[in-house]
Structure 1
Amino acid sequence: MFSRWTNSHHDQENDPHEAELKVNELKDAIGPQSGRSLQFCTNACFRRYLEARNWNVEKSKKMLEETLKWRSTFKPEEIRWNEVAIEGETGKIYRANFHDRNGRSVLILRPGMQNTASLDNQMRHLVYLLENAILNLPEGQEQMSWLIDFTGWSITNNVPIKSARETINILQNHYPERLAIAFLYNPPRIFEAFWKIVKYFLEAKTFQKVKFVYPKNKDSVELMRTYFDEQNLPKEFGGKALLNYDYEEFSKMMTQDDVKSAALWGLDIKLQQAGNGYSGAEVAPEPVCLAPAAG
Structure 2
Amino acid sequence: MEKNQEIALTRMRKSVEKLGGSAGEYGDPTLMRFLIARSMDSDKAAKMFVQWQKWRAKLVPLGFIPDSDVPDELEARKIYLQGLSKNGYPVMIVKGSKHFPSKDQLQFKKYVVHVLDKTIASSFKGGEIGNEKLIGILDLQQITYKNIDARALITGFQFLQAYYPERLAKCFILNMPRFFVSVWRMVSYFLEKATLEKIVIVSNEDERREFIKEIGEDALPEEYGGWTKLVAIQNVVLIQLED
- Secondary structure of the residue that 1:241 maps to in structure 2? coil
User: What secondary structure, in the 3-state scheme, does the structure 2 residue paired with 1:240 have?
Assistant: coil
Mapped partners of 2:226, 2:21: distance in 1: 48
**In 1, Cα distance between equivalents of 2:2 and 2:52:** 25
2:243 maps to 1:260: no
Q: Which residue of 2 aligns with 1:73?
A: 58
Task: Measure the CA separation in 1 of the matches of 2:235 and 2:211.
Answer: 30
Larger radius of gyration: 1
Deviations 1:231-273 (A, max 9, x none): 5322443x13354345xxx53534xx2x53232xxxxxxxxxx
Is the aligned partner of 1:44 residue 2:29? Answer: yes
Provide the rounded CA distance (Å) in 1 between the counterparts of 2:177 and 2:95: 13
Distance 2:153 2:8 in 1: 33
Counterpart of 1:204?
A: 193
- Helix, strand or coil for the counterpart of 1:201? coil
Q: Which residue of 1 aligns with 2:14?
A: 28
Secondary structure (helix, strand or coil) at the match of 2:189 reads helix
Which position in structure 2 is the counterpart of 1:167? Answer: 156
Structure 1 residue aligned with 2:221: 234
Correspondent of 1:85 among 71, 81, 89? 71
For normalisation by structure 2, the TM-score amounts to 0.87
C-alpha distance in 2 between matches for 1:245 and 1:191: 26
2:43 is matched with 58
Q: What TM-score results when the alignment is normalised by the length of structure 1?
A: 0.73
How many angstroms apart in 2 are the aligned matches of 1:189 and 1:252?
33
For 2:44 and 2:192, the matched residues in 1 are separated by 14
Distance 2:71 2:81 in 1: 14
Using the TM superposition, give the Cα deviation of residue 186 of structure 1 relative to its aligned residue in structure 2, in angstroms: 1.9
Q: Separation in 1 of the partners of 2:209 and 2:64?
A: 40
CA distance in structure 2 between the aligned counterparts of 1:242 and 1:100, rounded to whole angstroms: 12
CA distance, structure 1, for counterparts of residue 227 and residue 71 of structure 2: 25
- Is 1:111 aligned to residue 96 of structure 2? yes
1:101-151 residue CA offsets vs partner (Å, 9 max, x unmatched): 111111111121015432221121110111111212244661000011112
CA distance in 1 between partners of 2:152 and 2:227 (Å)? 30
- Given that 1:145 and 1:179 are in contact with CA atoms closer than 8 Å, whether structure 2 keeps it comes out as yes
Equivalent in 223, 227, 238 of residue 210 of structure 2: 223
The alignment-based identity, stated in percent, is 24
Q: Structure 1: any 5+ residue segments left out of the alignment?
A: 1-14, 264-295
Q: Given that residues 108 and 149 in structure 1 are in contact (C-alpha distance below 8 angstroms), is that contact kept between their aligned partners in structure 2?
A: yes
Alpha-carbon distance, 1:225 to partner: 2.9
Is the 8 Å Cα contact of residues 85 and 251 (structure 1) preserved in structure 2?
Answer: no
1:243 and 1:149, CA in 2 relative to 1: closer, same or farther beyond 3 A? farther
Which one-letter code corresponds to 2:51 in the other structure? E
1:202/1:86 Cα in 2 relative to 1: closer, same or farther (>3 Å)? same
Q: Kindly report structure 1 stretches of 4+ aligned residues shifted beyond 4 Å.
A: none
Any gaps of 5 or more consecutive residues in structure 2? none
Aligned-partner SS, 2:50: helix
What is the rounded CA distance, in whole Å, between the counterparts of 1:194 and 1:236 in structure 2? 25
Deviation at 1:74, TM superposition (A): 0.7
What amino acid does structure 1 have at the position aligned with 2:241? S
The alpha-carbon distance between structure 1 residues 172 and 58, as it changes in their structure 2 partners (threshold 3 A), is same
CA distance in 1: counterparts of 2:153 and 2:235, whole angstroms: 28
Q: Which residue of the partner structure matches residue 146 of structure 1?
A: 136
CA distance in 2, matches of 1:217, 1:201: 29
